[in-house]
Structure 1
């Protein structure tokens, strides 16, 4: 008995130190769980980052529906007329067309980690340059070519100053905003230049299958931007550069050259918008497209594009443009002032940035990126 006692004590101590074993797993239950997961392949996508953009876009569509409901409640006399509803819908699309084209280029720049405050001034410069007497003498092709080339060239200057001059995007594009407006005023002599080209003027006045040509141009730019961002190497590089420029450089991406191309793309969109805006007014002046850069930035942010870069969608930005255009239309049909409209837009922008700040800390990353660029 004296020999057995120590043995039993040691055994009990050793068993006390061993980890508790989990109960046996039933292979049938494991197989059933695997089949259940495989039967719902979209569930993990919806809960993950892949479904995040879709959920955000659904939320934006919900906001659009809510705005329409507000319009129906406040002006039932207008919304009871189906022909008016269709015409009003086309009016909203026309209102969104120019800013929408600019927003596509702005979305690329912000996803790439930059910002462009000069797009409104680029539109003015391109429009004024395209409507000079000398340029109009070359016909429709000469006017369109001039506007597009001017936009691209100014965008290239922005990109070179930021990439190779190592200027902060905010400062470089702010300086370009002032310079481009000044050059536009110098070229036009501070006068409004009238467009005598019937084709250009007809872009805003003519319809195709009952839909304005401006809407077709917006659709073409949006589709092209979506394909470029989601189906090409250029789009993947844009996301990489905006997410982590140093990692992108180590991965073999020429970050400086890509940044220049992003600002050139923004300038291209501004040049296209200049033709569209000139067609709407049948003229161009140095003060045109005032604050369009803020509308484009706001629409991109509302659509989910992060200020810090590396994340954003073309569809979300388009929905952001439509939301602002619908708000403008809603205020117009209710006879509310522009001041109240601007206050509402400002509140929406602040709310969107605060949500981004809470989710991703995007504002802090954006400011840190600018500090790092300055250093």
Structure 2
């Protein structure tokens, strides 16, 4: 092997001119039309979503295609969508977070106590964010510095957060009496026909997309999830980065909790039930590998929209919820099989 020319530092494997950090780039899974990269998995998800829309347009056209129903679908997708953005980062980084639903419940309950509501909208929002960040901090410390297996650490947080939410609320629904919060859920607060919660979801999605695909933080997340030891040898503080990933997940849970408060006008210890499963499932069908190292925010958001549209279609067609769960399970299995075949195909070339 020839040495690098004198006066020129060796090139970083990730293409960084500084050569100070070897962060592997995510593998390309798409093709190109001219000079435009096309992600085939995203196209397939768009295809599935288009088929679902076509089914709704044929079976219940007047109801499904109405402006009110489309606003409802997007609003319902917004809360779980924000949670899914945070979960996607954790999974790409090689972890898992089973506590997101319980954190949403705890944050919503804590932010709707009588004492917290005295501080108005700002106080409730700040409380929800701080509770989410606090839970994310505990998860991150246990996983990164414990060290504990992410499954066990977040499972313990799930149980603890649910229990604390039940204790704070005493099992009762805490009704919101702050007008500024309730007004966000009214039609008068819509911006050009778009609900405020959908705008928040769009902002979080854009921020997550930029953070994952356009920053060093995103490249480090992919590197840590793909090969933690290689990332450590490349100069990345793996433990600190894992802590930041769980803080990010907790922050998303805090945002989602406030959105849920606006949507329901209350805080309950049952809020966020099974959010962890829905968020993980949406990320998986969006192309995120459970083993870490690969995933996109776009794919996860499409997964959320697919699941939400399925739920809406079943409700409009008066179909039983058990069939709906079977359909979701079949989609998850199909997505994992596609991922497995793609991975085998990539290793054989």
TM-score bin (small chain)? 0.7 to 0.9
Question: Cα distance, 1:203 vs. partner?
Answer: 2.3
> 1:329-340 counterparts in 2 under 5 A?
329-340=312-323
**Quick one: structure 1 residues 351 and 134, their matched pair in 2 at CA, closer, same or farther if it must change by over 3 Å?**
same
Q: d(CA) in 2 for partners of 1:53 and 1:263?
A: 31
Q: Which residue of 2 aligns with 1:287?
A: 270
Question: Cα distance, 1:73 vs. partner?
Answer: 2.3
Structure 2: runs of 5+ lacking an equivalent: 1-28, 345-349
Q: Which residue of 1 aligns with 2:104?
A: 123
Measured on the aligned residues, the alpha-carbon RMSD in Å equals: 1.8
1:45/1:51 contact within 8 Å kept: no
The residue matched to 1:260 in structure 2 has which SS?
helix
The residue matched to 2:172 in structure 1 has which SS?
coil
2:30/2:39 contact within 8 Å kept: no
Q: TM-score, normalised by structure 1?
A: 0.80
Q: TM-score, normalised by structure 2?
A: 0.86
The structure that is helix-richer by fraction is 1
Q: Which residue of 2 aligns with 1:370?
A: none
Q: Which residue of 2 aligns with 1:195?
A: 176
> 1:224-373 counterparts in 2 under 5 A?
224-360=207-343
2:121/2:178 contact within 8 Å kept: yes
**Quick one: structure 1 residues 348 and 200, their matched pair in 2 at CA, closer, same or farther if it must change by over 3 Å?**
same
Q: d(CA) in 2 for partners of 1:305 and 1:252?
A: 25
Alpha-carbon deviations, 1:23-57, whole Å to 9, x = none? Answer: xxxxxxxxxxxxxxxxxxxxx97269x98871111
Q: 1:54 aligns with which of 31, 39, 45?
A: 39
Q: d(CA) in 2 for partners of 1:198 and 1:342?
A: 37
**Quick one: structure 1 residues 52 and 346, their matched pair in 2 at CA, closer, same or farther if it must change by over 3 Å?**
farther
Q: d(CA) in 2 for partners of 1:156 and 1:145?
A: 16
Is the counterpart of residue 179 in structure 1 residue 164 in structure 2?
A: no
Q: Which residue of 2 aligns with 1:70?
A: 55
**Quick one: structure 1 residues 316 and 136, their matched pair in 2 at CA, closer, same or farther if it must change by over 3 Å?**
same
Q: How many residues in Structure 1 have an aligned counterpart in Structure 2?
A: 313
Structure 1: runs of 5+ lacking an equivalent: 1-43, 362-375
Deviates more, 1:332-341 or 1:258-267: 332-341
1:129/1:184 contact within 8 Å kept: yes
Is the counterpart of residue 150 in structure 1 residue 131 in structure 2?
A: yes
Q: d(CA) in 2 for partners of 1:336 and 1:51?
A: 41
Alpha-carbon deviations, 1:204-231, whole Å to 9, x = none? Answer: 2231111100110000000000111111
